[in-house]
């Protein structure tokens, strides 16, 4: 049995769903462009630099969810999927996912982006399992706060291990384990699996992968 884990943003997607969700809300006038656009870009730059404070970012990212009904959020998300996400789902990414699923692997997305944004994306890829940062809810409405450990950096290992335990499994249950990612922020989980793969990697991850002989591939075709 094999375990196959995928990062989402800039790995399976030819872009960043987190960043694009905020930009979409700005374009709809839900968020104030002058206030939010610069902060959204600043957080994105911090992520790429490896300096992101995940809790500061989640406070920024999740608060808009608490201001609107779930019905309205779901309607916006359907439009967001059509206009922003589907164009970022490349044939190469779909093909790679399908090959692993057809081979009988247990396949999951592991992403720091919250599950409200990412669950419909995982479903569109046909991936049955999602390990994402969880936005807390009360009475069916989002509170604007995260629940539990964010799936970010070493937190991805913690969340994957808790998920495997819920299935009655552990790392030793698998003959091979794969993780595909673009980002040096994912080095903890990349170093944990038996088969790390760098996908359209940032410079830091590319150098790390080349030094260790990891496969490097692109899904942007």
In angstroms, the CA 36 to CA 55 distance is: 17
In angstroms, the CA 97 to CA 197 distance is: 14
Give me Rg for the CA atoms of the chain.
Answer: 17
What tokens appear for 163 in the block? 């998920």
Domain spanning 2-217: CATH superfamily: HAD superfamily/HAD-like (3.40.50.1000)
In angstroms, the CA 8 to CA 183 distance is: 10
Nearest to 3 by CA among 96, 92, 100, 97: 100
Residue 9: active-site member: yes
Domain residue extents for the chain: 2-217
pLDDT in tens, the chain (221 residues): 999 999 999 999 999 999 999 999 999 999 889 888 888 889 889 988 889 888 888 888 888 899 999 999 999 999 999 999 999 999 999 999 999 999 999 999 999 999 999 999 999 999 999 999 999 998 888 998 889 999 999 999 999 999 999 999 999 999 999 999 999 999 999 999 999 999 999 999 999 999 999 999 999 96
Contact call for residues 73 and 65 (beta carbons, < 8 A): yes
pTM of the model as a whole = 0.95
The three-state secondary structure class of 2 is strand
Q: Which of 7, 16, 18, 182 is catalytic?
A: 7
Tell how far CA 166 is from the center of its chain. 20
In angstroms, the CA 89 to CA 6 distance is: 14
181: how many CB neighbours lie within 10 A of its CB?
A: 29
In angstroms, the CA 114 to CA 18 distance is: 8
Q: H or E element: which one contains 121?
A: helix 115-125
Q: Which of 9, 16, 18, 186 is catalytic?
A: 9
């Amino acid at each position: 049995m094999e375990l196959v884990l995928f990062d989402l943003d800039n790995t399976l997607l030819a872009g960043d769903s987190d960043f694009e969700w905020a930009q979409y809300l700005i374009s709809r006038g839900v968020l104030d462009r002058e206030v939010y656009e610069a902060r959204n870009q600043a957080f994105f730059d911090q992520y790429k630099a490896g300096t992101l404070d995940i809790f500061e970012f989640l406070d920024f990212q999740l608060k808009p969810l608490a201001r609107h009904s779930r019905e309205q959020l779901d309607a916006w998300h359907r439009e967001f999927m059509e206009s922003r996400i589907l164009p970022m789902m490349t044939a190469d990414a779909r093909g790679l996912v399908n090959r692993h699923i057809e081979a009988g692997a247990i396949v999951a997305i592991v992403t720091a982006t919250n599950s409200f944004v990412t669950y419909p994306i995982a479903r569109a890829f046909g991936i049955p399992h999602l390990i994402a940062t969880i936005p807390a809810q009360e009475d069916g409405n989002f509170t604007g706060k995260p629940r539990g450990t964010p799936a970010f950096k070493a937190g991805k290992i913690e969340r994957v291990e808790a998920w495997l335990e819920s299935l009655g499994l552990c790392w030793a249950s698998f003959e091979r384990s794969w993780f595909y990612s673009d980002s040096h922020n994912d080095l903890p989980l990349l170093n944990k699996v038996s088969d790390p793969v760098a996908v359209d990697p940032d410079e830091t991850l590319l150098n790390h992968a080349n030094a260790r002989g990891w496969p490097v591939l692109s899904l942007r075709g």
